[in-house]
């Protein structure tokens, strides 16, 4: 099972089954949109980036060598499309997550406000690490930067988040880091 | 409230309401995007670069449709509009040459094995810039040769665009033949090859170069998406006369067009207008696209194709191309498997 869709669906899409490609796009859409929204902080731009990522999947999924490569490929596409959209349009200074959230989201708003305080580079590593549970070496490969750079960015992001987040969230921020770096 | 940031983050993300995805939009954007990608790659050849020792003067063109600044071995190109013909045929080339604002000497003396994969020109009504993109079966975009009306270029450094230079350098060569400036670019182009091209263009008459050029053009109408290998097979088996080879994009549309008694459009020519510039480079993805209404197969032919497809149980997802030969209202069909390249008469 890939993070995005079932192996069977990805394999069928890779084999050129057009209906499987469309099922795959429908399956990945929510995750794709949410990842883009987390990365860019503007729901309209997130939709644009996620749609463009789906267009790329529609066009190019058959060029993938194996279903195992799908996860990293998807992350790379979404991150790249978000960067492209960000370059083209200046995202809203204040994130617009409110419009897409349910009522009782105080904790969630804390997270989004904290993320909004990060630069796009710090935000990328934070999202991929804390939201998507990717390891730092995986993030390095997705972003095309050295492993050490990812770790440095994560450390900076964590420092920044600490100053923004409330105290009751802060203490366990390193727990996941310790666990993941052990491997 | 959880104290773990990761848990909190995931929960926050899960609360984002996801809008409905319209797969029709994705399908349409995918089709348009593929067309634009091909254009982008085609115009990588028109993003002209000059070899070392190139002109020291800045050359600038202020003709409509495009601006080009050549300075030493650097180039800045700004293209506002262009037209492109994919897999051009003799008639297409002659039409472009007739419209051109200068007497065109076509490229000649190119390495063996190259075929003309596309021609882009700008401005569309009276081109002063014509780019021919050559490819092989394995590398569809092996070499680009641009023919520019030299008079349209003015040596004036002052005309260089202000602000930070967006110029870039790649391997390329340029020379002049009569009233045109020729720019040759490609990943594997050697000075010796450029010298051969120059010699051939200098010593042969326009009629001779046109004849050599015709030999590199497609003899049949190749629609999307047919692989170069399948197109070659179709060209080999095509009888003399009108021949169109249809790929999966158009095969998908055939039943609908047949039911509506509509012709199959010839989508090889496309016009791009209002091309925006992003970071000093043309952004073809966001240009306005326009396809002229030319016909590849008449309604009767489309119905015949649909009938042949039904009869042979050939679907749009067959990964095949169908060669349609029309003669005096009668149609003959061959199916070419795009993987095995085996041709079967339907």
- For residue A63, what are its two tokens? 């060029």
**How far apart (Å, rounded) are the C-alpha atoms in residues B322 and B343?**
9
CA distances, B340 to each of B47, B232, B233 (Å)? 36, 13, 11
The tens digit of pLDDT for each residue in A89-116 reads 655 444 444 444 444 456 677 788 888 8
Backbone angles phi and psi of B138, in degrees to 5: -90, -30
Q: What is residue B276's predicted lDDT score, i.e. its pLDDT? A: 76
Q: What is residue B37's predicted lDDT score, i.e. its pLDDT? A: 61
ipTM over 0.90: no
> Between chains, do B12 and A105 touch, taking CB under 8 Å as contact?
yes
Select the more confidently predicted residue: B160 or B181.
B181
- Minimum distance, in Å, between the CA of residue B29 and any CA atom of chain A: 6
Select the more confidently predicted residue: B125 or B263.
B263
pLDDT at A75 over 90: yes
DSSP states of B226-279 as a string?
A: --HHHHHHHHHHPPSSEEEEE-HHHHHHHHHHHHTT-PEE-TTEEEEES--EET
Nearest CB partner across the interface for B10, out of A26, A101, A131: A131
**How far apart (Å, rounded) are the C-alpha atoms in residues A125 and A129?**
6
Select the more confidently predicted residue: B86 or A2.
B86
pLDDT at A33 over 90: yes
* B13 contact A CB<8A: yes
Q: What is residue B208's predicted lDDT score, i.e. its pLDDT? A: 81
- Measuring CA to CA, which residue among B255, B258, B231, B228 is closest to residue B334? B231
pLDDT at B253 over 50: yes
Q: What is residue A99's predicted lDDT score, i.e. its pLDDT? A: 46
pLDDT at B122 over 60: yes
For residues B295 and B312, the answer to whether their CB atoms sit within 8 Å is no
* B278 contact A CB<8A: yes
> Between chains, do A16 and B27 touch, taking CB under 8 Å as contact?
no
Q: What is residue A77's predicted lDDT score, i.e. its pLDDT? A: 93
> Between chains, do A29 and B33 touch, taking CB under 8 Å as contact?
no
Percent pLDDT > 90 in chain B is: 4
pLDDT-derived band at A155, boundaries 50, 70, 90: very high
**How far apart (Å, rounded) are the C-alpha atoms in residues A16 and B225?**
14
Output the pTM of the full model.
0.56
Q: Which residue of A has its CA nearest to B286?
A: A88
The tens digit of pLDDT for each residue in A112-139 reads 888 888 888 999 999 999 999 899 999 9
pLDDT at A35 over 50: yes
The total of other beta-carbon atoms located within 10 Å of residue B269's CB is 18
Mean predicted confidence (pLDDT) in B242-250: 86
Q: What is residue B224's predicted lDDT score, i.e. its pLDDT? A: 79
Q: What is residue B76's predicted lDDT score, i.e. its pLDDT? A: 59
Nearest CB partner across the interface for A131, out of B13, B17, B25: B13
* B21 contact A CB<8A: yes
- B12 contacts in chain A (CB < 8 Å): 105, 107-109, 111-112
Nearest CB partner across the interface for A131, out of B9, B25, B33: B9
Q: Which of B15, B225, B227, B276 to mutate to test the interface with A (most CBs of A within 10 A)?
A: B15
Interhelix angle for A147-164 vs A136-143, to 10°? 110
The tens digit of pLDDT for each residue in B5-19 reads 888 888 888 888 888
- Minimum distance, in Å, between the CA of residue B318 and any CA atom of chain A: 10
Mean predicted confidence (pLDDT) in B292-304: 88
DSSP states of B153-221 as a string?
A: EEE-GGGSPSSS---B--SEEEEEETTEEEEEEETT--HHHHHHHHHHHHHS-HHHHHHHHHHTS-SSE
Reduced to 3 states (helix: H, G, I; strand: E, B; else coil), residue B72 is coil
The tens digit of pLDDT for each residue in B30-62 reads 776 666 665 555 554 444 333 333 333 333 443
pLDDT-derived band at A74, boundaries 50, 70, 90: very high
- Minimum distance, in Å, between the CA of residue B329 and any CA atom of chain A: 34
Mean predicted confidence (pLDDT) in A15-32: 88
- Kindly report the average pLDDT of chain B as a whole number: 77
Percent pLDDT > 70 in chain A is: 78
- Kindly report the average pLDDT of chain A as a whole number: 80
Reduced to 3 states (helix: H, G, I; strand: E, B; else coil), residue A102 is coil
- A103 contacts in chain B (CB < 8 Å): none
* B10 contact A CB<8A: yes
Q: What is residue A27's predicted lDDT score, i.e. its pLDDT? A: 92
* Edge-to-edge order in the sheet of strand B269-273: B172-177, B180-186, B143-149, B129-135, B115-122, B82-86, B269-273, B288-290
pLDDT-derived band at B282, boundaries 50, 70, 90: low
Mean predicted confidence (pLDDT) in B77-105: 85
> Between chains, do B18 and A97 touch, taking CB under 8 Å as contact?
no
Structural domains of chain A sorted by starting position, each given as residue range(s) with its CATH number in brackets: 1-100 (1.10.1740), 103-183 (1.10.10.10)
Nearest CB partner across the interface for B16, out of A17, A18, A97: A97
pLDDT at B93 over 80: yes
Lowest mean pLDDT segment, chosen from B53-62, B101-110, B195-204, B284-293: B53-62
pLDDT-derived band at A36, boundaries 50, 70, 90: very high
Backbone angles phi and psi of A142, in degrees to 5: -65, -45
* B317 contact A CB<8A: yes
Contacts for A12-18: CB closer than 8 Å, 24+ residues apart: A13/A61, A13/A62, A14/A61, A14/A62, A14/A64, A14/A66, A14/A67, A15/A62, A16/A62, A16/B317, A16/B319, A17/B317, A18/B317
pLDDT-derived band at B281, boundaries 50, 70, 90: low
- B18 contacts in chain A (CB < 8 Å): 29-30, 33-34
């Amino acid at each position: 099972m890939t993070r995005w869709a079932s192996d069977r669906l990805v394999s069928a899409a890779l084999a050129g089954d057009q209906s499987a490609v469309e099922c795959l796009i429908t399956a990945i859409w929510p995750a794709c949109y949410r990842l883009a929204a987390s990365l860019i902080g503007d729901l309209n731009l997130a939709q644009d980036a996620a749609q463009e990522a789906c267009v790329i999947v529609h066009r190019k999924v058959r060029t993938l060598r194996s279903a195992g490569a799908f996860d990293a490929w998807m992350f790379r596409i979404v991150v790249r499309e978000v960067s492209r959209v960000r370059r083209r349009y200046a995202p809203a200074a204040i994130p617009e997550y409110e419009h897409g959230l349910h009522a009782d989201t105080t904790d969630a708003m804390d997270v989004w406000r904290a993320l909004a305080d990060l630069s796009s580079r710090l935000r990328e590593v934070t999202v991929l690490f804390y939201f998507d549970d990717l390891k730092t070496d995986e993030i390095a490969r997705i972003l095309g930067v050295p492993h050490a750079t990812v770790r440095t960015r994560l450390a900076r992001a964590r420092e920044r988040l600490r100053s923004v987040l409330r105290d009751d969230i802060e203490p366990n921020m390193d727990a996941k880091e310790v666990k993941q770096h052990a491997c | 409230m959880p104290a773990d940031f990761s848990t909190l983050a995931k929960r926050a993300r899960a609360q984002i309401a996801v809008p409905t995805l319209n797969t029709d939009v994705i399908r349409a954007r995918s089709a348009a995007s593929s067309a634009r990608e091909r254009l982008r790659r085609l115009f990588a050849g028109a993003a002209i670069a000059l070899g070392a020792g190139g002109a020291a003067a800045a050359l600038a063109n202020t003709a409509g449709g495009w601006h080009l600044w050549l300075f030493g071995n650097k180039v800045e190109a700004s293209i506002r509009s262009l037209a492109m013909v994919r897999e051009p045929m003799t008639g297409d080339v002659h039409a472009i040459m007739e419209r051109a604002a200068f007497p065109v000497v076509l490229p000649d003396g190119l390495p063996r094995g190259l075929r003309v994969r596309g021609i882009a020109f700008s401005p569309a009504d009276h081109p002063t810039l014509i780019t021919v993109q050559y490819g092989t079966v394995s590398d569809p975009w092996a070499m680009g040769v641009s023919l520019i009306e030299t008079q349209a270029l003015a040596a004036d450094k002052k005309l260089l665009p202000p602000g930070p230079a967006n110029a870039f350098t790649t391997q390329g060569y340029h020379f002049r033949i009569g009233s045109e400036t020729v720019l040759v670019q490609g990943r594997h182009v050697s000075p010796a090859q450029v010298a051969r091209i120059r010699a051939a263009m200098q010593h042969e008459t326009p009629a001779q170069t046109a004849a050599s050029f015709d030999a590199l053009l497609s003899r049949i109408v190749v629609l999307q998406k047919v692989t170069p290998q399948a197109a070659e097979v179709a060209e080999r088996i095509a009888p003399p006369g009108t021949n169109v080879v249809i790929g999966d994009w158009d095969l998908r549309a055939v039943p609908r067009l047949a039911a509506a008694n509509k012709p199959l459009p010839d989508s090889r020519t496309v016009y791009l207008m209002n091309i925006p510039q992003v970071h000093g480079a043309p952004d073809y993805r966001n240009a306005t696209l326009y396809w002229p209404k030319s016909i590849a197969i008449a309604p009767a032919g489309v119905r015949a194709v649909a009938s042949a497809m039904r009869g042979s149980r050939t679907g749009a997802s067959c990964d095949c191309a169908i060669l349609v030969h029309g003669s005096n209202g009668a149609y003959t069909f061959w199916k070419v498997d795009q993987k095995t390249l085996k041709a079967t008469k339907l």
